[in-house]
């Protein structure tokens, strides 16, 4: 499906009466500050939803498939495919990720209840169940809408925490707190209200993990903006230590094969 680059606001060529504006500076500044403080978390969630494409267009996407490249630390490059699909009830989605290199494919999947993986690089050819913490993390990643826009449906709390400098951008900062204690801190671009960074704090097997994910190169798919560049790693890690996913194509409402997210049954041992 054809995609469109994200437009950015421009005032180029607009005649501005600078002296008049300068004279009103203190009044306008007070008004802007008051307006900024008056904004609530709900306001920013609504602006993010509008920026993504709106509730109707987002809800119309029942499945979303991306293909591209995953680059791991050490400059290992894998062919990457991710398939997400909405489930019948609630905000939950299923997901399957396939990453292949040199004829070997790593698979991670979540079917709405449990997660599983196949990792031939660990000498495992058969699927194995993930632990509960890892499965929950993959279930969060599966969301087509994302954690921020799914917060109400999941019973999560959203707070507005003010603004913070993110690489020279005074981003709006929101925190999503799940009922299990997992937290996502969102940073929204002040011009277009799309997320540019998310800090995820969760517990995996008793250990606290803090992951930073940067989003960019937004493209429109079926009327909804999705990031086509996703870089993640431990918070404040060097670029060389991050996993980078570069999306080459995104397609919505693809027919998903039955059983794609289900864990394969273990092979039956031969009795001969």
CATH code of the domain containing 168: 2.50.20.10
In a domain, 19, yes or no: no
13 pLDDT more than 90: no
DSSP conformational letter for 26:
H
Q: What is the spatial distance between Cα 256 and Cα 93, in angstroms, rounded to a whole number?
A: 13
23 in a structural domain: no
Can you tell me the distance from the alpha carbon of 167 to that of 221, in angstroms, rounded to the nearest whole number?
27
Residue whose pair of structure tokens reads 């997901």 in the numeric block: 95
Cβ proximity of 92 and 111 under 8 Å: no
Is 46 strand, coil or helix?
helix
Question: Helix, strand or coil for residue 40?
Answer: coil
60 DSSP β-pair partners: none
Is the residue at 8 inside a domain? no
- Domain range spanning residue 219? 41-252
Neighbours of 258 (CB within 10 A): 7
Distance CA 127, CA 264 (A): 6
Question: Does residue 59 sit within a domain?
Answer: yes
Asked whether residue 25 carries a pLDDT value surpassing 60, the answer given is: no
The pTM of this model reads 0.83
∠ Cα 254 232 104 (to 5°): 60
Residue of 260, 263, 249 lying closest to 66 (CA atoms) = 249
Structure tokens, 152: 């109400």
**pLDDT tier, 68 (very low <50, low <70, confident <90, very high otherwise):** very high
Query: Using CA atoms, how far apart are residues 202 and 184, in angstroms rounded to an integer?
Result: 9
- The predicted model gives 147-165 an average pLDDT of 96
Residue 14 belongs to some domain of the structure: no
Mean pLDDT, residues 185-213: 97
195 within a domain of the structure (yes/no): yes
Asked if the structure places residue 262 within a domain, the reply is no
With DSSP H G I counted as helix, E B as strand and the rest as coil, what are the percentages for the chain, rounded to 5?
Answer: 20, 40, 35
The rounded mean pLDDT for the chain is 87
pLDDT digits (tens, 9 = 90+) for 82-123: 999 999 866 789 999 999 999 999 999 999 999 999 999 988
**Domain total of the chain:** 1
* DSSP code string of 105-165: EEEEEE-SS-EEEE-GGGT--S-EEPPHHHHHHHHHHT-SS-HHHHHHHHT-EEEEEEEEE
Give the pLDDT mean for 221-243: 95
In-domain check, residue 9: no
pLDDT on residue 250: 98
């Amino acid at each position: 499906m054809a995609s469109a680059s994200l437009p950015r606001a421009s005032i180029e060529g607009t005649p501005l009466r600078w002296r008049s504006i300068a004279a009103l500076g203190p009044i306008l500044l007070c008004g802007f500050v008051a307006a900024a403080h008056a904004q609530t978390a709900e306001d920013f969630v609504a602006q993010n939803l509008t920026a993504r494409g709106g509730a109707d267009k987002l809800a119309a996407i029942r499945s979303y498939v991306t293909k591209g490249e995953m680059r791991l630390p050490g400059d290992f490059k894998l062919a990457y495919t991710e398939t997400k699909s909405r489930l019948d009830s609630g905000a939950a989605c299923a997901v399957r990720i396939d990453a292949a290199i040199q004829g070997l494919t790593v698979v991670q999947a979540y079917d709405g209840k449990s997660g599983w993986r196949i990792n031939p690089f660990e000498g495992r050819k058969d699927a194995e169940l993930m632990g509960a913490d890892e499965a929950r993390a993959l279930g969060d990643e599966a969301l087509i809408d994302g954690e921020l826009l799914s917060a109400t449906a999941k019973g999560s709390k959203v707070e507005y925490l003010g603004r913070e400098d993110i690489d020279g951008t005074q981003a709006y900062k929101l925190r999503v707190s799940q009922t299990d204690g997992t937290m996502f801190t969102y940073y929204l671009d002040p011009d277009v209200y799309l997320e540019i960074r998310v800090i995820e704090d969760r517990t995996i097997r008793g250990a606290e993990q803090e992951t930073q994910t940067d989003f960019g190169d937004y493209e429109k798919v079926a009327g909804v903006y999705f990031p086509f560049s996703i870089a993640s790693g431990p918070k404040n890690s060097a670029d060389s230590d991050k996993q980078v996913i570069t999306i080459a194509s995104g397609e919505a409402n693809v027919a998903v094969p039955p059983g794609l997210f289900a864990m394969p049954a273990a092979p039956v041992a031969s009795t001969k």
